[in-house]
Amino acid sequence: MKDVNELNVEIERVKGDIKLIQQSLHNIEHNHLVHLQASIDKTKRILWTVGFMIFGQLVLVLKSFLIS
């Protein structure tokens, strides 16, 4: 009889661990990943802006060489 009680306690402990893991995964999915995606999007916008600025400068340099 003691073994059955121990197994039931162990099963309940494992169920509790699974619930904690599920809660942690939910927190990661809905909080951390959202912030990471926002940071990535911001970085992409900055890189595109810098790229267009460099392209504009290149066009100005080429234009000045062609006029001279």
DSSP string, 13-55: HHHHHHHHHHHHHHHIIIIIHHHHHHHHHHHHHHHHHHHHHHH
What's the pLDDT tens digit per position in 12-65? 999 999 999 999 999 988 888 889 999 999 999 999 999 999 999 999 999 998
Task: Give the pTM.
Answer: 0.59
Q: Which pLDDT value is given to residue 47?
A: 98
pLDDT at residue number 2: 62
| pLDDT above 70: residue 66 | yes
What confidence score (pLDDT) does residue 5 get? 87
* Residue 40, CA atoms < 13 Å, CB-side half-sphere: 6
